[in-house]
Structures are given as C-alpha cells and as structure tokens.
Amino acid sequence: MSTRPEIIVVCAGGHGRVVIDVLRRAGETVAALVDADGRLHGKEVDGVKIIGGDEAVFARSPEDVVLVNARGNAPRTGAGGLDGRRRL
C-alpha cells in the first residue's frame, strides 16, 4: 500500500497563505511550510507549522514530498519581480 506524499509549501509569507487556502479548497492537506527565515521556524501560518528551511526538505525522501512554490513577487525588480521565484 503506497501513501500519498506530504504537501510542503515553500515560503511562509502572504502568498503562502493564499496557496494554503487554494490547496485546502481543492481538498488537499498541507503538511507543513518551510521558509529560509529562521525567525519563523516553529511558528504557524493558518494552522500549518513552519518546520524549518531547506534542511527540513532535504531530510525527506523526494518520493515522500510534494513541494509547492509560494514565493511571491517582489514588485519593481528584474523580470517583473519574478527573479526570486525563478531562482527558488
């Protein structure tokens, strides 16, 4: 019996809240958030715990996780603010 991979949302800002809401409305369960900002680790966003940064993702097997990019735009920066999202 195979289990479904956990959904982890990457970035815990305002766009992360929107992504969590969309996933929930689609019937999905968000297991956790990750964020590069260490000050957020251990906190929650809309009831979803921020479990750490990249290390929390790398500690899991790729088959056990689905990552959802929630990096928002940074207005008035290169390429319409999408540089950070593209790098992620």
Question: What are the tens digits of pLDDT across the range 38-63?
Answer: 999 999 999 999 999 999 999 999 99
Q: Reduced to 3 states, what is the DSSP secondary structure of residue 73?
A: coil
Distance CA 64, CA 72 (A): 25
- In this prediction the pTM is 0.82
Name the band, by pLDDT with cuts 50, 70 and 90, for residue 1: very low
* Of the candidates 44, 18, 14, the residue with the CA atom closest to the CA atom of residue 31: 44
